[in-house]
Chain A
Amino acid sequence: MQTNILQYLEHTAEQKPDKVAFSDGSDDRTFGEVLSSSMSVGSFLCRLGIYGKPIVIMMKKHPDEISAFLGCVYSGNFYVPLDTEMPPKRMELIIASVSPAAVICDTASEKVARSLGIDNANVYLYSDICETPIDKTALDCVRLKQIDTDPIYIVFTSGSTGVPKGVVACHRSVIDYTESLCEALSFDENNVFANQTPLYFDAPLKEIMPTLKYGATTYLVPKKMFMFPTLMLDYLDKYHINTVCWVVSALTQISALGAIDNRSPKYLKTVAFGSEVFPIKQFNIWRRALPNADFYNLYGPTEATGMSCWYKVDREFDEGDVIPVGRPFRNTDIILLCERDDGEGNVKAERAKVGEVGEICMRGTCVTLGYYGNAEKTASAFVQNPLNTVYPETIYKTGDLGRFNERGELIFVSRKDSQIKHMGHRIELGEIEAAASSCPKISRACCVYDADTKRIVIFFSGDADKRELFAYLKDSLPRYMLPSETVKLDTLPLTPNGKLDRRLMGEMAVKLESK
Chain B
Amino acid sequence: MDKLIEILKDLHDDVDFESTEGLIDDGILDSLDIVTLITEIDSEFGVVIPPEEIVPENFNSAQAIMALINRIDED
Number of A-B contacts (CB under 8 A): 45
- Is B24 in contact with chain A by the CB < 8 A criterion? yes
Q: Which of A42-50, A220-228, A276-284 contacts B (4 or more CB under 8 A)?
A: A220-228
Q: How many residues of B contact A (CB 8 A)?
A: 18
Q: Which residues from A are CB-within-8-Å of B31? A: 223, 226-227, 253
* Most chain B CB within a 10 A radius of its CB, from A230, A261, A494: A230
- Is B21 in contact with chain A by the CB < 8 A criterion? no
Q: Can you report 26 A-B residue pairs in the complex whose CB atoms are below 8 A from each other?
A: A224-B24, A224-B27, A224-B56, A226-B31, A227-B29, A227-B30, A227-B31, A227-B34, A227-B54, A228-B56, A229-B54, A230-B51, A230-B54, A231-B55, A231-B56, A253-B31, A257-B38, A257-B51, A259-B51, A261-B51, A490-B35, A490-B36, A490-B39, A490-B40, A493-B32, A494-B32
Nearest chain A CB to B33 CB, angstrom units: 8
* Most chain A CB within a 10 A radius of its CB, from B27, B31, B39: B31
Q: Which residues from A are CB-within-8-Å of B55? A: 228, 230-231
Q: Which residues from A are CB-within-8-Å of B54? A: 227-230, 257, 259
Closest A residue to B43 by CB, please name it: A490
> Quick one: CB contact mask for B11-51 with A, threshold 8 Å, 1 for yes?
00000000000001001011110111011100000000011
Q: Which 3 A-B pairs have the closest CB atoms?
A: A259-B51, A490-B36, A227-B31
Nearest chain B CB to A323 CB, angstrom units: 23
Closest B residue to A234 by CB, please name it: B55
Q: Which residues from A are CB-within-8-Å of B39? A: 490-491
> Quick one: CB contact mask for B39-75 with A, threshold 8 Å, 1 for yes?
1100000000011101110000000000000000000
Closest A residue to B10 by CB, please name it: A490
Closest B residue to A494 by CB, please name it: B32
> For the complex, would chain B's binding face be called helix, strand, loop or mixed by DSSP majority?
helix
Is the pair A491, B32 in contact by a Cβ cutoff of 8 Å? yes
- Is A98 in contact with chain B by the CB < 8 A criterion? no
Is the pair A227, B24 in contact by a Cβ cutoff of 8 Å? yes
Q: How many residues of A contact B (CB 8 A)?
A: 18
Q: Which residues from A are CB-within-8-Å of B38? A: 257
Q: Which residues from B are CB-within-8-Å of A257? A: 35, 38, 51, 54
Sample of 4 more A-B contacts, CB < 8 Å, known A224-B27, A261-B51? A257-B38, A490-B35, A491-B32, A491-B36
- Is A256 in contact with chain B by the CB < 8 A criterion? yes
